[in-house]
Structure 1
Amino acid sequence: MRLFKLLGISIVVLGIFVFLLSLMFPSTAVVERTGVIMAPIDSVYAQVNNLKAWEKWNPWSRPDTTARLVYAAQSAGTGAYYSWEGQLNSGKVTIIDSEPDKGVHYTMDIKNMPPVKAGFEMKPSADGKGTAVFWHMEIKLGLAPWWKLRGFLADRIYGPVMNNGLDRLDSLCVHR
Protein backbone atom coordinates (compact mmCIF):
# COMPACT_ATOMS: atom_id res chain seq x y z
CA MET A 1 0.00 0.00 0.00
CA ARG A 2 2.84 2.35 0.85
CA LEU A 3 4.38 1.76 -2.58
CA PHE A 4 1.14 2.84 -4.33
CA LYS A 5 0.94 5.95 -2.16
CA LEU A 6 4.55 6.87 -2.99
CA LEU A 7 3.91 6.22 -6.68
CA GLY A 8 0.77 8.41 -6.63
CA ILE A 9 2.59 11.28 -4.91
CA SER A 10 5.48 10.98 -7.41
CA ILE A 11 3.09 11.19 -10.35
CA VAL A 12 1.37 14.27 -8.92
CA VAL A 13 4.71 16.00 -8.19
CA LEU A 14 6.00 15.16 -11.68
CA GLY A 15 2.77 16.49 -13.23
CA ILE A 16 3.07 19.75 -11.31
CA PHE A 17 6.74 20.05 -12.31
CA VAL A 18 5.92 19.51 -16.01
CA PHE A 19 3.09 22.07 -15.84
CA LEU A 20 5.31 24.67 -14.14
CA LEU A 21 8.09 24.02 -16.65
CA SER A 22 5.62 24.47 -19.52
CA LEU A 23 4.75 27.94 -18.20
CA MET A 24 8.23 29.02 -19.33
CA PHE A 25 7.37 28.17 -22.96
CA PRO A 26 5.56 30.77 -25.07
CA SER A 27 1.80 30.36 -25.51
CA THR A 28 2.04 31.15 -29.23
CA ALA A 29 4.03 29.24 -31.84
CA VAL A 30 5.12 31.03 -35.01
CA VAL A 31 6.46 29.30 -38.11
CA GLU A 32 7.66 31.35 -41.08
CA ARG A 33 9.12 30.50 -44.45
CA THR A 34 10.12 32.64 -47.43
CA GLY A 35 10.86 31.92 -51.04
CA VAL A 36 11.15 33.50 -54.45
CA ILE A 37 8.88 32.16 -57.15
CA MET A 38 10.02 32.94 -60.66
CA ALA A 39 6.57 33.96 -61.87
CA PRO A 40 4.60 37.21 -61.90
CA ILE A 41 2.80 38.18 -58.71
CA ASP A 42 -0.65 37.78 -60.33
CA SER A 43 0.15 34.16 -61.22
CA VAL A 44 1.22 33.38 -57.64
CA TYR A 45 -1.75 35.27 -56.20
CA ALA A 46 -4.15 33.28 -58.41
CA GLN A 47 -2.86 30.01 -56.91
CA VAL A 48 -2.85 31.22 -53.30
CA ASN A 49 -6.19 33.04 -53.45
CA ASN A 50 -8.19 30.13 -54.90
CA LEU A 51 -8.76 27.33 -52.37
CA LYS A 52 -9.53 24.82 -55.12
CA ALA A 53 -6.00 25.39 -56.47
CA TRP A 54 -4.50 24.49 -53.08
CA GLU A 55 -4.85 20.76 -53.76
CA LYS A 56 -2.07 21.06 -56.34
CA TRP A 57 0.54 22.65 -54.08
CA ASN A 58 -0.50 23.07 -50.43
CA PRO A 59 0.71 20.16 -48.29
CA TRP A 60 -2.25 20.57 -45.90
CA SER A 61 -5.01 20.87 -48.48
CA ARG A 62 -5.92 17.22 -47.99
CA PRO A 63 -4.63 16.21 -44.56
CA ASP A 64 -6.33 12.83 -44.78
CA THR A 65 -6.52 10.98 -48.11
CA THR A 66 -9.93 9.60 -47.11
CA ALA A 67 -11.23 13.08 -46.30
CA ARG A 68 -14.21 14.46 -48.15
CA LEU A 69 -13.65 18.10 -49.15
CA VAL A 70 -16.57 20.53 -49.33
CA TYR A 71 -16.03 23.94 -50.91
CA ALA A 72 -18.17 27.01 -50.39
CA ALA A 73 -19.94 28.44 -53.44
CA GLN A 74 -17.19 31.06 -53.45
CA SER A 75 -13.79 29.31 -53.54
CA ALA A 76 -11.59 32.39 -53.95
CA GLY A 77 -11.16 35.67 -52.12
CA THR A 78 -12.30 36.96 -48.75
CA GLY A 79 -14.95 34.70 -47.22
CA ALA A 80 -14.06 31.64 -49.30
CA TYR A 81 -13.68 28.41 -47.35
CA TYR A 82 -13.48 24.68 -47.57
CA SER A 83 -14.02 22.04 -44.93
CA TRP A 84 -13.09 18.40 -44.69
CA GLU A 85 -14.14 15.41 -42.72
CA GLY A 86 -12.14 12.23 -42.69
CA GLN A 87 -11.13 9.29 -40.55
CA LEU A 88 -8.19 11.13 -38.95
CA ASN A 89 -9.70 14.57 -38.36
CA SER A 90 -11.97 17.30 -39.63
CA GLY A 91 -11.63 21.03 -40.01
CA LYS A 92 -12.14 24.19 -41.99
CA VAL A 93 -9.94 26.73 -43.81
CA THR A 94 -11.36 30.23 -44.31
CA ILE A 95 -9.81 33.16 -46.19
CA ILE A 96 -10.28 36.17 -43.94
CA ASP A 97 -8.48 38.78 -46.06
CA SER A 98 -7.34 38.82 -49.66
CA GLU A 99 -5.75 41.67 -51.61
CA PRO A 100 -3.83 41.15 -54.88
CA ASP A 101 -1.06 43.60 -53.99
CA LYS A 102 -0.64 42.43 -50.37
CA GLY A 103 -1.50 38.78 -50.02
CA VAL A 104 -3.93 36.28 -48.55
CA HIS A 105 -4.65 35.63 -44.86
CA TYR A 106 -6.62 32.66 -43.59
CA THR A 107 -7.63 30.71 -40.51
CA MET A 108 -7.41 26.96 -40.11
CA ASP A 109 -9.59 25.28 -37.51
CA ILE A 110 -8.91 21.60 -36.96
CA LYS A 111 -10.96 19.49 -34.56
CA ASN A 112 -9.25 19.04 -31.17
CA MET A 113 -6.37 21.38 -32.07
CA PRO A 114 -5.62 25.03 -31.36
CA PRO A 115 -6.73 27.45 -34.09
CA VAL A 116 -4.17 28.62 -36.64
CA LYS A 117 -3.93 32.09 -38.19
CA ALA A 118 -1.79 32.15 -41.30
CA GLY A 119 -1.09 34.08 -44.43
CA PHE A 120 0.95 34.77 -47.52
CA GLU A 121 2.58 38.14 -48.08
CA MET A 122 3.65 38.74 -51.67
CA LYS A 123 5.72 41.41 -53.36
CA PRO A 124 7.96 41.64 -56.42
CA SER A 125 11.36 40.06 -55.84
CA ALA A 126 14.42 42.28 -55.46
CA ASP A 127 15.52 41.66 -59.04
CA GLY A 128 11.98 42.22 -60.35
CA LYS A 129 11.91 38.87 -62.16
CA GLY A 130 9.71 36.97 -59.73
CA THR A 131 7.58 37.11 -56.62
CA ALA A 132 8.90 37.07 -53.05
CA VAL A 133 6.54 35.03 -50.86
CA PHE A 134 6.44 35.13 -47.06
CA TRP A 135 4.31 32.29 -45.59
CA HIS A 136 3.60 32.52 -41.88
CA MET A 137 1.54 30.60 -39.33
CA GLU A 138 0.64 31.55 -35.78
CA ILE A 139 -0.80 28.96 -33.42
CA LYS A 140 -2.36 29.97 -30.08
CA LEU A 141 -1.37 27.13 -27.75
CA GLY A 142 -3.02 28.02 -24.46
CA LEU A 143 -1.65 26.66 -21.18
CA ALA A 144 -1.75 22.90 -21.81
CA PRO A 145 1.80 21.50 -21.50
CA TRP A 146 1.37 19.05 -24.41
CA TRP A 147 0.44 21.89 -26.79
CA LYS A 148 3.28 24.07 -25.55
CA LEU A 149 5.76 21.26 -26.17
CA ARG A 150 4.38 20.83 -29.68
CA GLY A 151 4.65 24.61 -30.12
CA PHE A 152 8.27 24.44 -29.03
CA LEU A 153 8.83 21.95 -31.86
CA ALA A 154 6.52 23.70 -34.38
CA ASP A 155 9.30 25.03 -36.59
CA ARG A 156 10.87 21.57 -36.89
CA ILE A 157 7.50 19.91 -37.51
CA TYR A 158 5.84 22.38 -39.88
CA GLY A 159 8.79 24.26 -41.44
CA PRO A 160 9.94 21.51 -43.83
CA VAL A 161 6.32 20.91 -44.89
CA MET A 162 5.93 24.63 -45.66
CA ASN A 163 9.18 24.57 -47.67
CA ASN A 164 7.78 21.66 -49.67
CA GLY A 165 4.59 23.65 -50.32
CA LEU A 166 6.56 26.67 -51.54
CA ASP A 167 8.61 24.43 -53.86
CA ARG A 168 5.43 22.90 -55.28
CA LEU A 169 3.89 26.36 -55.69
CA ASP A 170 7.03 27.50 -57.52
CA SER A 171 6.97 24.59 -59.96
CA LEU A 172 3.25 25.05 -60.55
CA CYS A 173 3.48 28.79 -61.23
CA VAL A 174 6.56 28.48 -63.46
CA HIS A 175 4.95 25.81 -65.64
CA ARG A 176 1.61 27.58 -66.16
Structure 2
Amino acid sequence: MKAPHFVLVSLLVASAAVYFGSFLLPDSYEVRRSIVVPAKPEQVFPYLNNPTEWEKWNAWNKAYDPTMIRLYGGPLTGKGAYQELNGDKVGLVKVHFTDSTPPSELYYKQLIKGDAFETTGIFSLEPLEGGTRVVWQQRTRVTDDLYNKYKGFFKKLKTEQETEQSLLSLKNLFDPAAKSDTNNQIANRKGRS
Protein backbone atom coordinates (compact mmCIF):
# COMPACT_ATOMS: atom_id res chain seq x y z
CA MET A 1 0.00 0.00 0.00
CA LYS A 2 2.99 2.31 0.48
CA ALA A 3 4.05 2.16 -3.20
CA PRO A 4 0.77 3.63 -4.61
CA HIS A 5 0.83 6.31 -1.90
CA PHE A 6 4.44 7.21 -2.80
CA VAL A 7 3.57 7.39 -6.52
CA LEU A 8 0.57 9.62 -5.81
CA VAL A 9 2.60 11.98 -3.62
CA SER A 10 5.39 12.07 -6.24
CA LEU A 11 2.91 12.97 -8.98
CA LEU A 12 1.39 15.73 -6.85
CA VAL A 13 4.82 17.18 -6.03
CA ALA A 14 5.90 17.03 -9.70
CA SER A 15 2.64 18.67 -10.82
CA ALA A 16 3.04 21.44 -8.25
CA ALA A 17 6.68 21.99 -9.34
CA VAL A 18 5.64 22.32 -13.00
CA TYR A 19 2.76 24.65 -12.14
CA PHE A 20 4.68 26.93 -9.76
CA GLY A 21 7.77 26.76 -11.99
CA SER A 22 5.78 28.47 -14.74
CA PHE A 23 5.57 31.60 -12.54
CA LEU A 24 9.37 31.84 -12.75
CA LEU A 25 9.37 31.77 -16.56
CA PRO A 26 9.28 35.18 -18.28
CA ASP A 27 6.35 36.37 -20.37
CA SER A 28 8.74 37.26 -23.19
CA TYR A 29 12.12 36.16 -24.46
CA GLU A 30 14.83 37.75 -26.52
CA VAL A 31 17.32 36.27 -28.96
CA ARG A 32 20.24 38.44 -30.07
CA ARG A 33 22.99 37.22 -32.38
CA SER A 34 25.55 38.94 -34.56
CA ILE A 35 28.05 38.10 -37.27
CA VAL A 36 30.61 40.00 -39.32
CA VAL A 37 29.97 39.78 -43.06
CA PRO A 38 32.85 40.61 -45.45
CA ALA A 39 30.85 43.19 -47.43
CA LYS A 40 29.67 46.80 -47.10
CA PRO A 41 26.28 47.53 -45.49
CA GLU A 42 25.03 48.70 -48.92
CA GLN A 43 25.75 45.21 -50.28
CA VAL A 44 24.27 43.28 -47.34
CA PHE A 45 21.12 45.32 -46.69
CA PRO A 46 19.27 44.37 -49.92
CA TYR A 47 19.28 40.72 -48.78
CA LEU A 48 17.40 41.78 -45.63
CA ASN A 49 15.21 44.59 -46.97
CA ASN A 50 13.70 42.52 -49.80
CA PRO A 51 11.60 39.56 -48.58
CA THR A 52 12.19 37.67 -51.85
CA GLU A 53 15.90 37.51 -50.94
CA TRP A 54 15.30 35.82 -47.55
CA GLU A 55 15.08 32.35 -49.07
CA LYS A 56 18.77 32.68 -50.05
CA TRP A 57 19.95 32.82 -46.43
CA ASN A 58 17.10 32.20 -43.96
CA ALA A 59 17.00 28.86 -42.10
CA TRP A 60 13.33 28.52 -43.06
CA ASN A 61 13.90 27.36 -46.62
CA LYS A 62 13.01 24.49 -48.97
CA ALA A 63 15.73 22.27 -47.48
CA TYR A 64 14.16 22.71 -44.01
CA ASP A 65 10.58 22.36 -45.23
CA PRO A 66 10.20 20.99 -48.78
CA THR A 67 6.45 21.68 -48.69
CA MET A 68 6.95 25.39 -48.04
CA ILE A 69 5.31 27.93 -50.32
CA ARG A 70 6.21 31.63 -50.18
CA LEU A 71 3.91 34.50 -51.08
CA TYR A 72 4.93 38.16 -51.21
CA GLY A 73 3.00 41.41 -51.04
CA GLY A 74 3.24 45.14 -50.56
CA PRO A 75 6.15 47.04 -52.01
CA LEU A 76 9.15 45.02 -53.21
CA THR A 77 11.39 46.38 -50.45
CA GLY A 78 11.24 48.28 -47.18
CA LYS A 79 8.33 49.33 -45.03
CA GLY A 80 5.09 47.56 -45.94
CA ALA A 81 6.74 44.64 -47.74
CA TYR A 82 5.76 41.24 -46.41
CA GLN A 83 6.12 37.55 -46.98
CA GLU A 84 3.91 34.64 -46.03
CA LEU A 85 5.33 31.17 -45.58
CA ASN A 86 3.17 28.08 -45.50
CA GLY A 87 4.50 24.58 -44.95
CA ASP A 88 4.18 21.43 -42.90
CA LYS A 89 7.09 22.31 -40.59
CA VAL A 90 6.90 26.11 -40.46
CA GLY A 91 3.12 26.37 -40.39
CA LEU A 92 1.55 29.60 -41.63
CA VAL A 93 3.92 32.50 -40.93
CA LYS A 94 3.62 36.18 -41.85
CA VAL A 95 6.66 38.47 -41.70
CA HIS A 96 5.72 42.14 -42.17
CA PHE A 97 8.38 44.88 -42.50
CA THR A 98 7.31 47.75 -40.25
CA ASP A 99 10.18 50.20 -40.81
CA SER A 100 13.31 50.42 -42.92
CA THR A 101 16.29 52.79 -42.86
CA PRO A 102 18.70 51.69 -45.61
CA PRO A 103 21.39 50.54 -45.19
CA SER A 104 21.41 50.40 -41.41
CA GLU A 105 18.13 49.13 -39.88
CA LEU A 106 15.12 46.97 -40.69
CA TYR A 107 12.21 46.34 -38.30
CA TYR A 108 9.60 43.62 -38.70
CA LYS A 109 6.78 41.75 -36.98
CA GLN A 110 6.29 38.02 -37.29
CA LEU A 111 3.11 36.09 -36.54
CA ILE A 112 2.58 32.33 -36.72
CA LYS A 113 -1.02 31.25 -37.15
CA GLY A 114 -2.23 29.23 -34.18
CA ASP A 115 0.63 30.42 -31.97
CA ALA A 116 0.03 32.73 -29.06
CA PHE A 117 3.31 34.53 -29.75
CA GLU A 118 4.15 37.79 -31.51
CA THR A 119 7.75 38.44 -32.49
CA THR A 120 9.27 41.81 -33.27
CA GLY A 121 12.67 41.82 -34.91
CA ILE A 122 15.40 44.28 -35.77
CA PHE A 123 18.35 43.95 -38.10
CA SER A 124 21.08 46.49 -37.39
CA LEU A 125 24.07 46.89 -39.70
CA GLU A 126 27.26 48.54 -38.49
CA PRO A 127 30.09 49.29 -40.93
CA LEU A 128 33.48 47.91 -39.90
CA GLU A 129 36.92 47.88 -41.47
CA GLY A 130 36.57 45.28 -44.21
CA GLY A 131 32.97 44.31 -43.48
CA THR A 132 29.68 44.81 -41.69
CA ARG A 133 28.50 43.65 -38.30
CA VAL A 134 24.94 42.36 -38.70
CA VAL A 135 23.01 42.19 -35.42
CA TRP A 136 19.71 40.30 -35.44
CA GLN A 137 17.56 40.87 -32.38
CA GLN A 138 14.18 39.20 -31.86
CA ARG A 139 11.79 39.71 -28.97
CA THR A 140 8.80 37.44 -28.54
CA ARG A 141 5.87 38.01 -26.24
CA VAL A 142 4.40 34.86 -24.73
CA THR A 143 0.81 34.47 -23.57
CA ASP A 144 0.75 34.36 -19.78
CA ASP A 145 -0.40 30.78 -19.22
CA LEU A 146 1.26 27.56 -18.13
CA TYR A 147 1.39 25.83 -21.52
CA ASN A 148 2.63 28.79 -23.57
CA LYS A 149 5.30 29.81 -21.07
CA TYR A 150 6.89 26.36 -21.28
CA LYS A 151 6.40 26.29 -25.04
CA GLY A 152 8.10 29.69 -25.24
CA PHE A 153 11.09 28.41 -23.28
CA PHE A 154 11.70 25.62 -25.81
CA LYS A 155 10.86 27.89 -28.75
CA LYS A 156 13.63 30.26 -27.64
CA LEU A 157 16.21 27.46 -27.88
CA LYS A 158 15.04 26.62 -31.41
CA THR A 159 15.04 30.31 -32.42
CA GLU A 160 18.63 30.68 -31.22
CA GLN A 161 19.76 27.80 -33.45
CA GLU A 162 17.81 29.05 -36.47
CA THR A 163 19.15 32.60 -36.02
CA GLU A 164 22.76 31.40 -35.90
CA GLN A 165 22.25 29.19 -38.95
CA SER A 166 20.62 32.05 -40.88
CA LEU A 167 23.40 34.50 -40.10
CA LEU A 168 26.05 31.99 -41.16
CA SER A 169 24.19 31.48 -44.44
CA LEU A 170 24.04 35.26 -44.95
CA LYS A 171 27.80 35.47 -44.41
CA ASN A 172 28.34 32.60 -46.87
CA LEU A 173 26.70 34.65 -49.62
CA PHE A 174 29.69 36.99 -49.44
CA ASP A 175 32.42 34.61 -48.24
CA PRO A 176 32.36 31.26 -50.09
CA ALA A 177 35.39 30.04 -48.08
CA ALA A 178 33.28 30.22 -44.92
CA LYS A 179 30.75 27.85 -46.52
CA SER A 180 33.06 24.84 -46.18
CA ASP A 181 33.78 25.78 -42.55
CA THR A 182 30.03 25.98 -41.87
CA ASN A 183 29.43 22.59 -43.51
CA ASN A 184 32.18 21.10 -41.30
CA GLN A 185 30.59 22.63 -38.17
CA ILE A 186 27.18 21.22 -39.08
CA ALA A 187 28.68 17.79 -39.82
CA ASN A 188 30.50 17.83 -36.47
CA ARG A 189 27.27 18.70 -34.62
CA LYS A 190 25.40 15.88 -36.36
CA GLY A 191 28.21 13.45 -35.51
CA ARG A 192 27.91 14.30 -31.81
CA SER A 193 24.11 13.85 -31.86
TM-score (norm 1): 0.82
Give per-residue Cα distances to partners, 1:26-70, cap 9 Å, x unaligned: 111111101111100001111111100000001125663212211
State the match for 1:115 in structure 2: 118
Cα–Cα, structure 1 residues 30 and 162, in superposed 2: closer, same or farther, change >3 Å? same
Shift of 1:23: 1.1
For residues 50 and 168 of structure 2, what CA distance do their matches in structure 1 show?
Answer: 18
State the match for 1:139 in structure 2: 140
- The number of residues matched between the two structures is 171
Shift of 1:9: 10
- Given that 1:79 and 1:95 are in contact with CA atoms closer than 8 Å, whether structure 2 keeps it comes out as yes
- Given that 1:92 and 1:109 are in contact with CA atoms closer than 8 Å, whether structure 2 keeps it comes out as yes
* Alignment pair present for 1:36 and 2:36: yes
For residues 70 and 91 of structure 1, what CA distance do their matches in structure 2 show?
Answer: 10
For residues 138 and 66 of structure 2, what CA distance do their matches in structure 1 show?
Answer: 23
Which one has the bigger helix percentage? 2
For residues 68 and 100 of structure 1, what CA distance do their matches in structure 2 show?
Answer: 28
Shift of 1:16: 5.4
State the match for 2:108 in structure 1: 106
In structure 2, what residue type is equivalent to 1:112? Answer: G
Shift of 1:145: 2.3
Unaligned 5+ residue runs, structure 2?
1-6, 177-193
Structure 1 stretches of at least 4 aligned residues deviating more than 4 Å after TM superposition: 7-17
In structure 1, what residue type is equivalent to 2:50? Answer: N
* Alignment pair present for 1:170 and 2:153: no
Alignment of 1:5-154 (within 5 A): 15=15, 17-60=17-60, 64-88=65-89, 89-113=91-115, 114-125=117-128, 128-154=129-155
Q: Which moved more, 1:145-154 or 1:160-169?
A: 145-154
State the match for 1:157 in structure 2: 158
Unaligned 5+ residue runs, structure 1?
1-6
* DSSP 3-state at the match of 2:24: coil
For residues 79 and 173 of structure 1, what CA distance do their matches in structure 2 show?
Answer: 27
For residues 97 and 173 of structure 1, what CA distance do their matches in structure 2 show?
Answer: 25
- Given that 1:34 and 1:133 are in contact with CA atoms closer than 8 Å, whether structure 2 keeps it comes out as yes
Give the alignment's Cα RMSD to 1 decimal: 2.8
In structure 2, what residue type is equivalent to 1:24? Answer: L
TM-score (norm 2): 0.76
The one of the two structures with greater contact order (alpha-carbon pairs below 8 A, sep at least 6) is: 1
- Given that 1:118 and 1:138 are in contact with CA atoms closer than 8 Å, whether structure 2 keeps it comes out as yes
* DSSP 3-state at the match of 1:115: strand
